[in-house]
Structure 1
C-alpha cells in the first residue's frame, strides 16, 4: 500500500524514525532502494531527518548510498540538514 507520493511503509517508517518497524519491514523483504514518485529512497528520507540507526539498517540491507534524485544523494541531504549522520555516508 502506497501513499499519494508512492511512499511505502518503509519510506514512512524511515522518515518518522521508527527503527523497529524499519527492521521488521526489511526482514520481511521490503526493498531498501524503492523510490517515491519524487525519486527519494528510504535512505534519502532517513538521512534528511538524521536517523542514523535507520540509515545504518538500510545500508546493511544494501541500500545504495550513491543513489541520486535530482542530483541529490542521501549524503547531500544529511549535509543540508547539518546531520551527524554524514560521517556514516562518506
Structure 2
C-alpha cells in the first residue's frame, strides 16, 4: 500500500494541508451537494490575488470520479488557472 500511495502521489508537492468533508449523520445522502459547496468555498479562497500563489490538489477516493470531473470543469468556469491539475488520479 505504501508503495502504491507513493507512486500515486508522486506529483503532489510535499507539505501543505489536507481536508476532509464530514457530513452530519442526518445528511449522509447529500455528499455530492456538500462536495460542490466545499469546492466553491475553497475556490473563493484560492481565487483571491495573493503575492504567493498556492495550488490546490484534490485526491479522489473510490467512487468519486464524477466529482473530480465536476471539480475540474467548475474550477475552469470560475477562472482557476490550474483547473487541469486540480485533481490527482
Give TM-score, length-normalised by structure 1.
Answer: 0.37
Which of 1 and 2 has greater Rg? 2
Give TM-score, length-normalised by structure 2.
Answer: 0.37
